[in-house]
């Protein structure tokens, strides 16, 4: 008898210790502390040990040797992603600490998970996946690296172990973390993705701002569904909870009065990447200068609203995602880049602070300041429509030389189906020649990024080898395939330097030797001389420069290599 009572008491106490466990944030009277890495992982380990509805997994080793963890909450204790999908449940993925100096989501998720389990509020039809911290090495590198942020007292650092910003790494995937994330993403195939951040920039009254996957970039019908059933209700419910939100404050000019421009998250960013796989993505950004307590609370409340909506809408959400995938698979024309439509402008009610100028005490020069004693409620322009810029008709398939191991590995990681050519063969394909491109002068995230790519197409027979890869476009991952393999796409593999070797010539000519040969070639091809004369009339530089004229002849001749500037991924226009 005594033993049973004792056992009950022990169980009660241990439950209290786990569920009632207050996180570091709650233990601090100022609510100005965020958990350390050890506290964070220990917290989830305890929860998973005691509650069968929670499972903590190690996905693989991050760039600092410590594992990437994933906590999964499943009301019926089923943790098999295939089963979960077969049951028609929705999956919500929460990613924290991609920028560990922005830790609200880390703390809010701990309380969110604990309170769902403790209060028995886990919805039956939503499986919740939580990445406790994504940039593990950044979280370990604790300090005070955010000068423009109001607490907590110390926190992790933005950069990864190799000083990458992981929220630019979803396509180029330079880090182990990015590859692990993509594995998680394709294992769990989230319907909703939530990536937690803290803002920088202007001052205003809102605690919470929101980047929603840009509707113009999300495929139909998911795009309208997201707007109507998720984004609009989220704004309403947050307002009702006393935490009104505003779209992420990306100002047209220096201050919000100039208007807000909707943030266009291209695929290098987390939610832009999610959009390629038809996942609704939100990037909540709390305002950096509000007290940490308010920021964590806002994140917690937003998480709860998003979960409630996901539970209410799970059936329609799962179905509409399926329809969207099917529609995209059959789509023929794909946008590759987007441009802000400055002709299309709406107005937004905005709660700001009066911005002004005064003399700097440091330099004496005029400086910007926001007067917190003068809150404003004004109407401001809101530019939030993006028009597709470059578009492309999808080929039947892409053919990728097997030599490009990194490209193949990333396609596989993203669920792309492909088959190897069985024998050496010549295929009739369209190939691109890179006609023009620009390259950043400064390295950006470990790369000299290209943009403004212009191509010229050539159709003809091209030799491929057994083991080269055919990637058909009639498949689920078509948007990922097109936006990475088409060189003109904003975040294409080409732009991220995966194919840079084609941009430099391998053989050249010595002018003093080539002179005679050039003369012979002009005799052999009388048309060339006229053509050269014509070009010289047109092009001053060519007219003045003998070396350039030899180069012109060289490039017309059989000596000039075919692979120079030829983009190696070919487009198959007809089924072979």
Instruction: Note the residues at the interface with Zn ion (CB under 5 A).
Output: 99, 102, 197
If the CB atoms of residues 104 and 125 are measured against Zn ion, the closer one turns out to be 104
Nearest Cα neighbor of 414 from 465, 485, 464, 326 is 485
Least CB distance to Zn ion at residue 102 (A): 5
If the CB atoms of residues 167 and 476 are measured against Zn ion, the closer one turns out to be 167
**Three-class secondary structure of residue 159 per DSSP:** coil
Least CB distance to Zn ion at residue 552 (A): 50
Taking CA atoms, 274 is separated from 65, 93, 232, 318, 446, in Å, by: 26, 11, 20, 15, 22
Least CB distance to Zn ion at residue 357 (A): 29
Least CB distance to Zn ion at residue 146 (A): 10
Six-digit token pair at 80?
Answer: 């098999």
Least CB distance to Zn ion at residue 214 (A): 17
If the CB atoms of residues 114 and 197 are measured against Zn ion, the closer one turns out to be 197
User: CB neighbours of 33 closer than 8 A, spacing ≥ 6?
Assistant: 24, 25, 27, 152, 153
Least CB distance to Zn ion at residue 298 (A): 15
Least CB distance to Zn ion at residue 99 (A): 4
Total Cβ atoms within 10 A of residue 557:
16
User: CB neighbours of 26 closer than 8 A, spacing ≥ 6?
Assistant: 111
If the CB atoms of residues 283 and 309 are measured against Zn ion, the closer one turns out to be 283
Identify any residues that bridge with 450 across adjacent strands, giving them in sequence order: 439
Over the range 531-545, which residues count as b (16 or more CB within 10 Å of their CB) and which as e? ebeeebeeeeebeee
If the CB atoms of residues 102 and 189 are measured against Zn ion, the closer one turns out to be 102
Contact 395, 571 (CB under 8 A): yes
Least CB distance to Zn ion at residue 197 (A): 3
The Cα 269–Cα 260 span in angstroms is 20
The Cα 558–Cα 430 span in angstroms is 21
User: What secondary structure, in 3-state letters, does 500-536 show?
Assistant: HHHHCCCCCCCHHHHHHHHHHHHHHCHHHHHHHHHHH
User: What secondary structure, in 3-state letters, does 217-260 show?
Assistant: CCCCCHHHHHHHHHHHHHHHHHHHCCCCEEECCCECCCCHHHCE
If the CB atoms of residues 35 and 96 are measured against Zn ion, the closer one turns out to be 96
If the CB atoms of residues 99 and 277 are measured against Zn ion, the closer one turns out to be 99
If the CB atoms of residues 172 and 197 are measured against Zn ion, the closer one turns out to be 197
């Amino acid at each position: 008898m005594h033993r049973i009572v004792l056992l009950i008491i022990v169980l009660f106490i241990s439950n209290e210790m786990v569920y009632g466990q207050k996180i570091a944030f709650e233990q601090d009277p100022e609510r100005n502390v965020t958990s350390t890495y050890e506290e964070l992982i220990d917290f989830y380990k305890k929860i998973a040990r005691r509650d069968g509805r929670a499972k903590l997994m190690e996905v693989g080793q991050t760039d600092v040797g410590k594992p990437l963890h994933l906590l999964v909450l499943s009301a019926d204790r089923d943790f098999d992603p295939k089963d979960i999908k077969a049951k028609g449940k929705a999956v919500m993925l929460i990613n924290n600490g991609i920028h560990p100096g922005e830790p609200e989501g880390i703390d809010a998720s701990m309380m969110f998970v604990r309170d769902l389990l403790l209060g028995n509020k886990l919805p039956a039809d939503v499986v919740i996946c939580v990445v406790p911290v994504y940039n593990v090495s950044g979280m370990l590198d604790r300090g005070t690296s955010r000068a423009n942020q109001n607490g907590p007292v110390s926190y992790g650092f933005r950069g990864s172990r190799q000083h990458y910003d992981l929220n630019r790494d979803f396509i180029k995937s330079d880090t182990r973390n990015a590859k692990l994330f993509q594995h998680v993403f394709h294992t769990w195939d989230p319907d909703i993705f939530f990536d937690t951040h803290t803002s920088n920039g202007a001052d205003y009254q809102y605690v919470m701002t929101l980047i929603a996957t840009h509707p113009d970039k999300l495929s139909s019908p998911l795009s309208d569904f997201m707007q109507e059933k998720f984004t609009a209700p989220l704004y309403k419910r947050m307002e009702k909870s006393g935490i009104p939100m505003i779209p992420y404050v990306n100002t047209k000019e220096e201050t919000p009065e100039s208007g807000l421009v909707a943030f266009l998250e291209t695929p290098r960013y987390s939610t832009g990447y999610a959009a390629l796989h038809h996942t609704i993505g939100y990037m909540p950004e709390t305002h950096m200068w509000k007290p940490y307590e308010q920021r964590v609370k806002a994140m917690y409340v937003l998480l709860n609203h998003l979960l409630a909506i996901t539970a209410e809408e799970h059936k329609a959400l799962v179905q509409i995602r399926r329809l969207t995938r099917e529609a995209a698979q059959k789509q023929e024309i794909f946008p590759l880049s987007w441009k802000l439509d400055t002709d299309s402008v709406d107005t937004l009610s905005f709660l700001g602070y009066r911005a002004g100028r005064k003399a700097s005490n440091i330099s004496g020069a005029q400086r910007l300041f926001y007067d917190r004693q003068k809150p404003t409620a004004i109407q401001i322009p809101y530019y939030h429509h993006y028009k597709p810029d470059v578009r492309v008709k999808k080929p039947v398939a892409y053919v990728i030389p097997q030599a490009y191991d990194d490209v193949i590995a990333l396609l596989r990681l993203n669920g792309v189906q492909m088959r190897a050519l069985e024998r050496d063969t010549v295929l009739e394909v369209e190939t691109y020649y890179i006609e023009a491109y620009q390259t950043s002068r400064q390295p950006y995230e470990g790369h000299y990024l290209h943009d403004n790519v212009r191509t010229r197409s050539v159709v003809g027979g091209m030799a491929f080898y057994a083991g080269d890869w055919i990637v058909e476009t009639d498949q689920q991952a078509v948007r990922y395939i097109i936006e990475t393999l088409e060189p003109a796409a904003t975040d294409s593999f080409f732009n991220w330097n995966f194919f840079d070797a084609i941009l430099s010539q391998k053989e050249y000519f010595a002018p003093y030797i080539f002179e005679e040969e050039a003369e012979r070639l002009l005799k052999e091809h009388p048309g060339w001389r006229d053509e050269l004369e014509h070009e010289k009339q047109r092009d001053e530089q060519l007219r003045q420069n003998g070396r350039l004229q030899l180069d012109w002849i060289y490039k017309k001749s059989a000596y000039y290599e075919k692979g120079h500037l030829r983009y190696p991924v070919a487009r198959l226009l007809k089924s072979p």
